[in-house]
Amino acid sequence: MHKEDSGGRGGSAVQVLVIGFTQIIAWASSTYIPAVISIPVADELHLPRSLVYGAFSFSLLITALSGPAVGRRIDKSGGRRMLMLSNFVFALGLLLLSGVRGAVGLFAAWAVLGLGMGMGLYDAALATLIYLKGKAARKSIVGVTLLGGFASTVGWPVSAYVLHHWNWQAVCLFWAGVHLLVALPLHYVFVRGPKARAAPDKTAQPAQVAARVATALHPIACVVLGALSGVFGAYAAAGLCFAVLHGGGNGMISVAKGVLPLAIFGLVGYGSVTGKIAVAGRLTQVFAPLVFGVVLENGGAGWALGLSAALGLASLLMLAGADASGQRRDHRPDRRAPDLHVDQSDRSRIQHQGRQAVRAGRGQRGAHGDLPRRAHRGRVRLSRLRSHRVVGPGASRQHAQGRRRATERRNPEGARRA
């Protein structure tokens, strides 16, 4: 047992509060910091603003590529050490960012921060909860994502306050200190416990419904925004409706991203699975600003909203298709041969008949060296017998009845036809 997996302090609620609070720190000091410091950085370093935002997009690429390896490590030994290491990496990246003097240093600093995001944001935190709590982590995942949703509410005002009274370098140094002096000790003290036992999970349906509803809210929000603003000219109402629908969908997606893979794929390898799933999403985030910028510049806001709604609908259709495929697979009839369970008397009789057939076939090979059919059947009978256990009298009939009932549950129509 790893040292990090022994002992434990605080209950489940304390761990949720701690991880949720450290997620606020992680998001506020990485994803939300460019909105505050990018313009001062570009002005002071005499760099194009697009280049500064490009460095942040480069960090998302590093985050995507590091996700699967981070997930595998958490699956193997837990997430406490990974989250603690992420605090060091975040602090290092912020220190490098505070001292950049050109484009090369800017990209290098954001590369380190991208690695920290891969090690310390939602994917790693939720994989850590799954490692510690198993399928009971659903409520914890909801709690952590709800707390993490306050990252922008807390991060932007705090960063803006430090920027207003000092400079953008002070913003980076402030968050680096918070990682080392606050988040690191919290991870060390409270994020620990034994690994949860794997158990079957049969509650995928609620998570699938939540994912579909969350995915549907964004295209609905785009349609409402376009209709109210473009057709009726109600810009205030359009903005309010879009904010409510899009915000609600985005919040639900944050929860579904953690719960849905657990419901579909189970506990085993959760970190690795979510890391692989996140690769496509992170890569899309890298190129999405560029694509939408081109569409907005050449086609206008209407085309940009239309593209966004179309992508949301495509995601919804893919979720529905995956659900239908899973249901067809679950109702597929079992074509495997039934297990052979025999009584002791039947076993002795089959053994005797098989050995007699094999002895009778010895020395009577055909022209091509093949055994006579009788000897071949005897060997097959003996090999099947060796691979199955002996049960008591009457167990063969009970086993056959159990197999028949299981087949009827999986495929009722096929069972009635039979």
- Say what the pLDDT of residue 81 is: 93
Q: What whole-number distance in Å separates Cα of residue 127 and Cα of residue 275?
A: 9
Percent share of the chain, pLDDT over 70: 59
pLDDT at 21 over 90: yes
* Over residues 126-151, mean pLDDT: 83
What does pTM read for this prediction? 0.66
- Which tens digit of pLDDT belongs to each residue from 26-73? 999 999 999 899 899 999 999 988 888 889 989 999 998 998 899 889
If one compares 334 and 298, the residue with the highest pLDDT of the two is 298
pLDDT at 5 over 50: no
pLDDT at 283 over 90: no
Give the architecture (CATH level 2) of 3-201: Up-down Bundle (1.20)
- Say what the pLDDT of residue 126 is: 87
Domains of the chain, residue spans: 3-201, 203-265+300-331, 344-363+371-406
Q: What whole-number distance in Å separates Cα of residue 58 and Cα of residue 70?
A: 18
Percent share of the chain, pLDDT over 90: 25
- Which tens digit of pLDDT belongs to each residue from 174-211? 999 999 999 999 999 998 877 766 554 555 555 556 55
Cβ partners under 8 Å of residue 335, min gap 6: none
pLDDT at 147 over 70: yes
